[in-house]
Amino acid sequence: MKVNIQSVNFNVDSGLVNFVEERINNLERFYDKIIGSDVYLKVENTSEKENKIAEIKLLVPGGEFIVKKQCKTFEEGVDLAIDSLKRQLNKRKEKLRAQNI
């Protein structure tokens, strides 16, 4: 699966890239028809502590899933987004399974 990572308002380090790619690739255990993903990591210029945004767009046949989370760290935001995507992928798989029966 192709994982595109884009950072806005900062330079991303290789540790964060590896973390994101590992988490995205683990999604294939839940849904094996994932085509690719786009990950946008943004830092907002605000005085709030939760100024880091992780947005993940997952491409699957027939559509896409988009999840956006705002947290104190990118790792926390990516983890929350991945958990949300797992639920959405399981729901889609159940729906497809119900249609085939």
Q: pLDDT tens digit string along 14-50?
A: 999 999 999 999 999 888 889 999 999 999 887 788 8
In the predicted model, is pLDDT for residue 101 greater than 70? no
Q: CATH no. for residue 35? A: 3.30.160.100
pTM as predicted: 0.90
Sheet order of strands, 36-43 included? 2-8, 36-43, 52-60, 63-71
Count of the separate structural domains present in the chain? 1
In the prediction, which pLDDT does 47 show? 76
Which segments of 20-92 are extended strands (E)?
36-43, 52-60, 63-71
Which residue range is the domain that position 95 belongs to? 2-100
Q: pLDDT tens digit string along 77-97?
A: 999 999 999 999 999 989 888
Q: Which amino acid is at 27?
A: L
- Averaged pLDDT, 49-70: 93
